[in-house]
Structure 1
């Protein structure tokens, strides 16, 4: 009778912590630093990059061969922690500094869209909707602790999925690079 042995992780705990901290720090930067938040307007690329960079640097530092599944799960954990930290930072900024992270990037992108729509009467209805949406997005927001925890959970899950894909992408790129060098 065969005994199932638990699968041991290739990456040590220190390596997982390293990946999670780097990923969470990059997510925190790309979701709170003015104008750097514009990265996340394009399919959450800042979150994807966080997962990829954190796993890439961890794999090179600890010299391990990670399977895609472990890289994905480690990236997910980095995204979960980064999403929660991002929401806490956003809450603190809104409460104490009356600053809402990402508003300047949103205004910049909407400004670009309005500039491109000038002189095109067919787009005037969409332009009016865009201006109304911008006013709504820039309106002051009051959050309570329950809202903060809900946002932490939603952002953590969403960012986790995207950062996990970034982590698996890092493994894919390293395996592809290793295959070319043979």
Structure 2
């Protein structure tokens, strides 16, 4: 439950957190070692503020999400299993159709690129067949599967996704990739 720090075994001086802490709402947070955080007002000279700072709706969603994470013992294990399941299904379908692809996945974050090259940065992602991705995106949308509209974006799996929904995604990939 320590996020990327725990996953990768990192003890960071400062950490930034995104929408997960707001239950998907537009919010971010940061934290750090005491000597760094002591520099932030009201104790230190660095002032931090924003128009959405402390937004009550985002804070309520975040509080609910963090409670769910703390109270659900198998949350990350379930997300990992869902990620493995989707990745295996995509690999099987695309391999059987002789389509060049690369899948990158960490836990419940997964990305699909239409290239047989490793994708490790923007340049290698841009070298993929982005016209194929554009058609794929629209075809999947017509199947009722809502994906990020760019090959440079990651798919994020939700704990609430069911096996049936993952199967629908895989079967839709099978249908649209001819």
- TM-score range (shorter-chain normalised) is under 0.3
More strand by share: 2
TM-score w.r.t. the length of structure 1 is 0.24
Greater relative contact order (CA < 8 Å, ≥ 6 in sequence): 1
